[in-house]
Amino acid sequence: MKLLLLFTYGVSLETWVKKGLLDREKRLYEELLSSGHVEEVFWLTYGANDLDFGEELDRRIKVIPKPAIFKRKLFTFLYSLLMPILRARYFKEADVIKTNQMKSSWTGILASMLYGKPLYVRTGYTWSLITREIGGKSILEKFSPFFEWVAFKFSRKASVTSQADRVYVMKKYHISSDRLKWIPNYVDTELFLPLKRDEYQDRILFVGRLTGMKNLFSLFEAISGTPYSLDLFGTGELEDELRKFAIKIGAKVRFMGSVPNSELPGIINRYPLFVLPSLTEGMPKALLEAMACGVAVLGTNVPGIREVIRHGHNGWLVERDPQSIKKGIIHLMENPSLRARLGRSAREFIEENFSLKRVVSEEAELLREILGKKS
């Protein structure tokens, strides 16, 4: 079959490269191609220069960039509406149209209506839940429940990355269990694995986007006044505010920027503790990768995180306020034997439940179901 992937609204291949995400994101499609489940993949992106960033991709992954005439951000939404017409050739060739997130679903719906191709709505997180938690600012965010309702109703099949999101979507939008599947985020456990490295004895690690959802102001408050420092890998809209806040409260924080996903295993293994203090999550990839490396993890007791972390067994759960986070950090940092035990259990848990091989198999099965093919 030929699979067409709609990049998230406004996201380019250049963005994936510069944020170090390409290595991770492409693996699913490389495996689907190499295993013979998929013949060709079309990536429809929102970058006008994206052909310059796809040179190292499998030749069967075709990057279809945004036309130069729509280069200005002002015209991005217009392009998302006209994409099914302007890129008609690829929609006609594709057997299945897939979204990477809900913020691209309207393009898939229009194309499915025009060409009669089945729509597979995949979401890494539930847009309306995130908007409700951190507050929606744009018109698109305010209408996220409407977009979700239409997309789930119109799709042939859909998938979410967490069990909590699956229950929520089924109940809110009355989607049957056979149409909505749980396919978790994957980890390349052959890349992300425990390594023998010199450990930073007094540093903790965060990897992710620097956005409101990640609750980083509370994390900064939590480490302030402790003997520990924090290294952040990632970029985002709140970076400047976070830098100023760290200085204001005297928190020892280093902003490390983005690195390619393939470099993360060597980085993660240097730290005694990975912390994810989010207000809410879908299925956090960085957390799964840290657990695969056998590093002790601490996360907040919210959907998406508590689905992965089993408190006291493969990680540590705390509440979202600074004092709870601080208490958890101090407890784990002062107990190396506990960290070691949690790390071993975390690695075993990821190997059993979130391996790339397992997710590829489930994705391939869902694609076959969409086309009415038997295993």
Query: In this structure, what token pair is assigned to residue 91?
Result: 């929609």
- Integer Cα distance of 331 and 338 in angstroms: 9
- pTM beyond 0.75: yes
Would the CATH topology of 2-186+355-370 be identical to that of 203-353? Answer: yes
Per-residue pLDDT, 373: 76
CB 22 within 8 A of CB 60: no
CB 161 within 8 A of CB 282: yes
Sheet holding 273-276, edge to edge: 253-257, 229-233, 203-207, 273-276, 296-300, 316-318
CATH number of this structure's domain 203-353: 3.40.50.2000
Q: How far, in Å, are 92, 198, 301, 324, 358 from residue 364 at the CA level?
A: 21, 40, 32, 42, 10
Q: How far, in Å, are 190, 201, 209, 219, 259 from residue 298 at the CA level?
A: 23, 16, 17, 11, 22
Report the Cα–Cα distance between both ends of the chain, in Å, rounded: 14
Would you write out the chain's pLDDT as a tens digit for each of its 375 residues? 999 999 999 999 999 999 889 999 999 999 999 999 999 999 999 999 999 998 889 999 999 999 999 988 889 999 999 999 999 999 999 999 999 999 989 999 999 999 999 999 999 989 888 887 777 667 888 888 999 999 999 999 999 999 999 999 999 999 999 999 999 999 999 999 999 877 899 999 999 999 999 999 999 999 999 999 999 999 999 999 999 999 999 999 999 999 999 999 999 999 999 999 999 898 999 999 999 999 999 999 998 999 999 999 999 999 999 999 999 999 999 999 999 999 999 999 999 999 999 999 999 999 999 999 765
62 in helix, strand or coil? strand
CATH number of this structure's domain 2-186+355-370: 3.40.50.2000
- Integer Cα distance of 311 and 193 in angstroms: 21
Q: Amino acid identity of 302?
A: V
Cβ neighbour number for residue 32 with a 10 Å cutoff: 20
Report the sign of the C-alpha dihedral through residues 135, 151, 184, 166, in that order.
positive
Domain ranges in the chain are: 2-186+355-370, 203-353
- Integer Cα distance of 86 and 329 in angstroms: 52
